[in-house]
Structure 1
C-alpha cells in the first residue's frame, strides 16, 4: 500500500514537470523579480564578510547584551571582576569593592590608614575606572574603614557604658 502511494506521488510530480526522482530544478536569475512565489536559494557568502559567517564568541555576546539591554549590568559586574586590573594590585590588596548602586561604589578598606589614603586618591581611582569601563559606570565612591566589634548582642539593648561597668 505504501509502495502504491509513493508511485502515485511520483507520477503526479512527473506530470507537473519534475524529474523521475521527484525533485524539481528551478533556476532563479539574479535581478529577476519573479512573482513572489519563487524563492531565491541561499548562496554562499563569498569572500566578503557576512552575518552568516562564523562569528567570534565575544562579538556575539556583546551584540546580544546590547540588543537585550544588559550592557549596563555587565559593566557593573565587571567592576568587581576586574577590580585589581582597574585600580592596581597595591590598592586591590588593601581594598575590596562591596556594592555598586546607582553609580556609587562602596569600598571596604583593610585599615583606617588605607581608608584615608583611598579618600585622597578617590579622583584618580574614578578616572582609572572610567578609562577601563567607560564613563558613567561609577560616578562616586563611598569608602569605609574596618568595622569595630559591636558589643550589642541580641534584639534588646540597654544603653550605657557596656561591659566596662560590670567589673567592679
Structure 2
C-alpha cells in the first residue's frame, strides 16, 4: 500500500493510500482532515471542504494537479506539501530538504489566560479551553487545594505501605 508524507502548516502527516487511482486532491483533503483532527480548534477551519489548497512536491517544488491519479503523479513514500490558500511561505523553506519546509499558519498561541480556582469554571470556559483560546494558570487557592490533595494521597500511601510491612 503506498503511503505519502504530507506537510501541512508545520505538521508532518503520514497518509496511507488504499488505492493508487485516488487523486492528488484526495491526498490533500485527507491530509487537511488529519491536520484538523489533531488541532484543538480544528486548525481554524469548520470543515475540510472550505479549505482551498495546492499540492506540490517538496523536492523540486513541482506543482501537482489535483485531478492527477496518485500512482501516476507520485512515487511511494514521497514527501509533498499542502499549501493552504492565505498561508505565507517561510523564508526558511528549503525545497530539496523536506525537514526544512515551514509555513506560517493563521493559528496563533493564545495570549489570554484563564485562572482555574477549582470552583468557577463555566461550560463556556471549558469549550473555549478546548478550542485553544486560553492558556491556563492556577490561582493560589487552587494550588493550595492541589497541595492538600497531594498530602492526603501521600498519607494514604504511607499508611498502606506501613500496614504491608507489619504483615
**Which band: TM-score by shorter chain?**
under 0.3
Structure of greater Rg: 1
The two structures have a TM-score, normalised by structure 1, of 0.21
The two structures have a TM-score, normalised by structure 2, of 0.21
Kindly indicate which of the two structures has a greater share of residues assigned to helix. Answer: 1
Kindly indicate which of the two structures has a greater share of residues assigned to strand. Answer: 2
